[in-house]
Amino acid sequence: MATVIYTQSMKPRLAVFASGIFNCLGVVSGGLAVAYAIVHLLPVDLLVSVNTARGLAMVFALLAAAIIWNLGTWYFGLPASSSHTLIGAILGVGVANSLINGTSMSYGINWSKAIDVGASLLCSPLVGAILAGLIIWLLRRYRPMSNIHKTPFQRQQVEGRKHPPFWTRFMLIVSAMGVSFSHGSNDGQKGVGLIMLVLIGIVPAKFVLNLESSPYQLERTRDAAIHLQQFYNRHQADLQKIILPPSASASHYECRPLDTDATASRLLATLSDANDYHQLSATQRWDVRTQLLCLDDAAKRAGKLPHLTGADKLHLENLRKDLTVTTEYAPTWVILSVALALGVGTMIGWRRVVKTVGEGIGKKDMTYAQGVSAQITASVSIGLASQFGFPVSTTQVLSSAVAGCMVADKAGLQWATIRAILLAWLFTLPVSMLLSGGMYYLASYWIH
């Protein structure tokens, strides 16, 4: 919203309303890849115990830490990342869980997923700044005298109009709505993932599995379990070299990769000839979810075997998709609720951060070209990240894109604001980790 407001392309109220609508649309059509990329940062032993007191303590710690830090940075008008906050909260719970159970940190957090997520959060602002600066450089090189390089004040002084030229205004509005849509599709999914964790913990009988799964999906699940069982039996000797045996792992772990054959057999026995999850009791549904999560974890570990062929790796990836097809889902009403919350939150809490992005980053007023460049960069990069399941921060990408435009245009930066944004970026991860980890540790101690 900051760019269309500060380039006089839209009135603030209209911009905020339109942004809220496109945020909603982004959530509804964004899929679930990012949602479960976030959820699977948690260790498997926590995911299979969400319906216990310990699992509920975990969910409370995640939500409380994220809300406290996000509200604090919003109050001071800092463009902090809610994605960064949520990921920090998840990592904090994982670390605290390892400390409580006396296990290695390598088991407390899904480090491979954490590294992927961390890389996307780290690289996306840099990519945003570079691409937006490159677009400005190209516009300066090939259209140096165009009105697109004017600010609203400069255009009013020369032509008596603040609004940008028609096609420039059109691109500003379209790209701004693209940023809002991309924001909804990426950030909204994180909310969907958290709500599903809460629902699974509170009402497991209804939400541990997608009760609307088709007979075909259940058949795919059964076939995947059989094929994974066969894969483990074929590679048993090699797997024993890279996977710790049960005696070397913490005793509280429910998922033991070397027990994959037995886990798959229990799953197949529970499912039997069922073609509808309604046919299973509440306990059986929870058992099926646990077994599916364990088999998915086993398939992921099997993918680390050396000398696997490309066909084998693709086979394991397809098995993982089939194993999680009925656990990685969200009811329509959950998606609509998150869409509504994100849209309303955008319409209510926009002013502080918009002012920081629009006035506090560059030393000079924003030109039309800078607004277009920043928004095109943000909407495209965030949209692609959502499609590939990478959680990124809309706020960080757009803020860095604005900064990149200012640098490319030699407009200068307000280093006090940049420093504040960088400090928020720097402290978000450790503070959210400490908040969530501390609350989870205290809650677990109180439970015991």
Query: What are the sequence ranges of the domains in the chain?
Result: 2-173+182-204+332-356+393-447, 213-324
User: What is the rounded average pLDDT of the residues 387-415?
Assistant: 79
Please give the distance of CA 243 from its chain centroid, rounded to a whole number.
Answer: 29
Q: What's the pLDDT at 250?
A: 43
Please give the distance of CA 351 from its chain centroid, rounded to a whole number.
Answer: 24
User: What is the rounded average pLDDT of the residues 245-251?
Assistant: 45
Q: What's the pLDDT at 247?
A: 43
Q: What's the pLDDT at 350?
A: 61
420: CB partners within 8 A, 6+ apart: 78
**Residue-wise pLDDT tens digits, 52-67:** 777 778 888 888 888 8
Please check the confidence at residue 360 and state whether its pLDDT lies above 60. Answer: no
Residue that has been written with the tokens 């975990």 in this structure: 58
**Residue-wise pLDDT tens digits, 249-296:** 444 446 777 788 899 999 999 998 888 999 999 889 989 998 998 899
**Contact between 184 and 344 (Cβ < 8 Å):** no
**Residue-wise pLDDT tens digits, 89-120:** 888 888 888 888 776 666 667 676 777 777 77
Confidence tier at 210 by pLDDT (50, 70, 90): very high
- The 3-state DSSP class for residue 413 equals strand
The residue that leads in pLDDT, 155 or 404, is 404
How far is it, in rounded angstroms, from Cα 243 to Cα 306?
Answer: 12
How far is it, in rounded angstroms, from Cα 397 to Cα 12?
Answer: 22
Please check the confidence at residue 414 and state whether its pLDDT lies above 80. Answer: no
Range ranked top by mean pLDDT from 82-91, 188-197, 293-302: 293-302
Least confident span in 231-235, 279-283, 411-415 = 411-415
**CA distances in angstroms from 416 to 103, 122, 424, listed in the order given:** 43, 21, 12
How far is it, in rounded angstroms, from Cα 364 to Cα 361?
Answer: 9
Confidence tier at 51 by pLDDT (50, 70, 90): low
Q: What's the pLDDT at 251?
A: 40
DSSP string, 288-350: HHHHHHHHHHHHHHHTT-TT--HHHHHHHHHHHHHHHTTTS---HHHHHHHHHHHHHHHHHS-
Please check the confidence at residue 375 and state whether its pLDDT lies above 90. Answer: no
How far is it, in rounded angstroms, from Cα 314 to Cα 298?
Answer: 15
Torsion of the alpha carbons at 275, 276, 279 and 280, rounded to the nearest 10: 100
User: What is the rounded average pLDDT of the residues 331-349?
Assistant: 85
Please check the confidence at residue 329 and state whether its pLDDT lies above 70. Answer: yes
- Whole-number mean pLDDT of the chain? 81
How far is it, in rounded angstroms, from Cα 175 to Cα 367?
Answer: 15
Q: What's the pLDDT at 252?
A: 44
